[in-house]
Amino acid sequence: MVGYLEGNDPKLKNEVVVIGAHYDHVGIGKAVAGDSIYNGADDNASGTTAVAEFVNYYAKAKTNKRSILFCFFSAEEKGLLGSKHLAAKLKQANMNVYLMLNYEMIGVPMPAGKDMVAFMTGYGKSNLAEKINEYSGKKFIGYYDFAIKYQLFRASDNYPFYTEFNIPAHTFSTTDMESFHYYHQPGDEFDEMDTAHMADFIQQMIPITEKLINAETKEIVLKD
């Protein structure tokens, strides 16, 4: 499912920022304590909630100088099939995609002691983390060893946009995978989610996203 909002700047509207998340999960699987339905509240109903809130915000504000493509991807759990298909189609259509911002597992906050609000996959591949921290005036995005160890940059819907367009394309998450015990488990349910945290994270990301979308130049670049 895709929504398009044209930018309001005559020149910058030709550049597109993709904001996305996947809505599929693993479905029905091995029962745990009699529960075989894998709901996927954190992975990734939380991410799609973020994208939906960006849709709600920009539908009213319409403050975006660049155009925005809001994407709800399917078949991420089957191998990024939805995002691979869309990225290839957009490349074929010669769409000028500047930046891809992907949201996955933002339903619970990072534990106390972690000096970040969220981590970003592919942390060292671009200057996006540095710019976000500059915009927010604090250590908002941090480096996370787990993301490198398990190659999370390649594991979500940001990756096809990186490979097709060679652009900064990253996933944001606030879930500490080493302490969250319900990854791909039936226990990943709504009552485990911290909705106040989710609302706070999204509200903090809105002004950051505004600056990214409305910057006069393509200030987010890949690193060598």
> Which residue numbers in the chain have pLDDT < 70?
none
pLDDT at 187: 80
The answer for residues whose C-beta is within 8 angstroms of residue 18's C-beta and 6 or more apart is 68, 69, 71, 97, 99, 100, 101, 161, 169
| Spatial contact of 179 and 32, defined as CB atoms under 8 Å apart | no
pLDDT at 112: 81
pLDDT at 174: 96
pLDDT at 29: 85
Place of tokens 């606030």: 174
β-sheet bridge partners, residue 50: none
Cβ neighbour number for residue 20 with a 10 Å cutoff: 30
| Omega before 44 within 30 of 0, i.e. cis | yes
> Token pair of 12, please?
């910058």
Q: Which residue type, as a one-letter code, is found at position 72?
A: F
CA 159 from chain center: how many Å? 11
| Spatial contact of 32 and 185, defined as CB atoms under 8 Å apart | yes
Please state, in angstroms and rounded to a whole number, the distance separating the CA atoms of residues 7 and 216: 13
Query: CA dihedral in degrees (106, 108, 109, 112; nearest 10)?
Result: -150
